[in-house]
Amino acid sequence: METNTIASATQQISQIKEKGIDFLYQRGPNLLGAIIILVAGYMVARFLCRLLGKWLEKRHLEPPVRMLLTRLVWLVIMALFVMVALGTLGIAVGPLIALMSVAGVGVGLAMQGVLSNLVAGLLIIFTKPFRVGEYIEIIGCAGQVNTIDMFTTVLVHPDRSRVVIPNRKIVGEVLHNYGNIRQQNISIGVAYSTNLPAAIAVINQVLIANPRVLKDVPPVVVVGAFADSSIEILVKPWTSVNDFGLAAAEIKLAILESFRSSKIEIPFPQREIRVLNAGSSKL
């Protein structure tokens, strides 16, 4: 039994060797040609993608767009060379293309959300409604743009928390883009007896002394409203997005100290009550 088993295994091995030799003899040149075609395709795709990447970089396109376009070109070139290699091996390419088309339709239907995010990401990158570093408000979310990817946009809040927004939620919505600078909106109340030009001059001095306040954009310091117990002065200087929170705190503290040193009163809410005919009484 053992002898028969060994003989059978030896016979099978010899048959496999004969079939392998016959395959190499018959298909060897075609297989070698297919390998050469694939290697040539890889080299051509790599060379063309490098040229395309340098050209796109000169066009100042965003890195995600450059990466996407170079990868698409690489895939197209390699797909063409793979088809040629399969044809060289004698494999029918037509049914394979039809199968890939059907599979592509199924994958597209299953990934509608992902593809819509991709298309929206390309629209955002090409149209550039906002850039990295700018402060925006959209669909109830606000923050500084941290990254713009193919599928999502990431905003960073002043507390360093992150908001990840799918790109399809951004395209078609009302967008408020503050850019790289923001305007403060500080309201300060002074007494009705205050010398308003002097108070405004003190505030302007505070703004000039603060290094976070932008000097190339004139600040707005005007009388805002006449409240019950005070006159409101609106202070609206411009600061960078990164300095927005710290600048507001520093400006408020400096104005308070300057008002105290200048004897400018910041009144608290109060009401005057008058009692009429206090000495009379009803019978």
Could you read off the pLDDT of 161-174 as tens digits, one per residue?
A: 899 999 989 988 88
- Identify the three-state secondary structure at position 262: coil
> Two tokens at 176?
């408020």
The model's pLDDT over 32-50, given as tens digits with 9 standing for 90+, comes to: 777 888 888 889 888 888 8
| Residues 215, 204 contacting (CB under 8 angstroms) | no
pLDDT the model gives residue 283: 46
The class of domain 28-110 in CATH terms is mainly alpha
| Predicted pLDDT at 239 | 94
What's the confidence (pLDDT) of residue 184?
A: 93
Residue 220 has a pLDDT of 93
> In the chain, where are the structural domains located?
28-110, 130-179, 181-261
Question: What pLDDT is recorded for position 236?
Answer: 94
Q: Does the pTM of the predicted model rise above 0.75?
A: no
**Overall CATH class of domain 181-261:** alpha beta
Counting as low any pLDDT under 70, the low residues of the chain are 1-28, 60-62, 64, 91-113, 270, 278-283
- CATH architecture label of 130-179: Roll (2.30)
Provide DSSP, the chain. Answer: -HHHHHHHHHHHHHHHHHHHHHHHHHHHHHHHHHHHHHHHHHHHHHHHHHHHHHHHHHTT--HHHHHHHHHHHHHHHHHHHHHHHHHHTT--SHHHHHHHHHHHHHHHHHTHHHHHHHHHHHHHHHH-SS-TT-EEEETTEEEEEEEE-SSEEEEE-TTS-EEEEEGGGTTTS--EEEETEEE--EEEEE-TTS-HHHHHHHHHHHHHH-TTB-SSS--EEEEEEE-SS-EEEEEE-EEESTTHHHHHHHHHHHHHHHHHHTT---PPP------SS-S----
* pLDDT score of 132: 87
pLDDT for 269 equals 73
Residue 112's pLDDT is: 56
